[in-house]
Amino acid sequence: MRKQGGPEVFRITGARQGLADDVRGRQRRYVISMSVRTLSVIAAAVLWNVERHVAVVALALGVLLPYIAVVIANAGRESAPSLPSTFMPAPVRPALGAGDGPAESGAERT
């Protein structure tokens, strides 16, 4: 028979991503954003005398990307409301009583 104060049961589907994995993902997003920024600044310098309007767009991208990269890198570890609850109560199985036995057929009753 199972005790009522049994261990808590947790759902793994509602668990958060590990902290090390979360930090690694943030660092990866930041490095990718800064790489795109570096490429856009280099493109602006190379294209300045060739295609000035493309160079201006690349320069604007190079100026705006640090702010965007920091905001994207700092986004994380928020609780996701769409995930199920991480705690699920243990299932309760009713105990058999003294009068509960195998079901009797209707023909044997008198």
Tell me the pLDDT of the chain (110 aa) as tens digits: 445 566 776 666 656 677 888 888 888 988 898 899 999 999 999 999 999 999 999 999 999 988 888 887 777 666 555 555 555 666 777 777 666 555 555 555 55
Distance CA 97, CA 46 (A): 86
**In contact, 65 and 33? CB cutoff 8 Å:** yes
Rg of the chain, C-alpha, whole Å: 31
Which token pair is 97? 């009583």
Distance CA 16, CA 22 (A): 9
Closest listed residue to residue 66, CA positions, set 41, 88, 44: 41
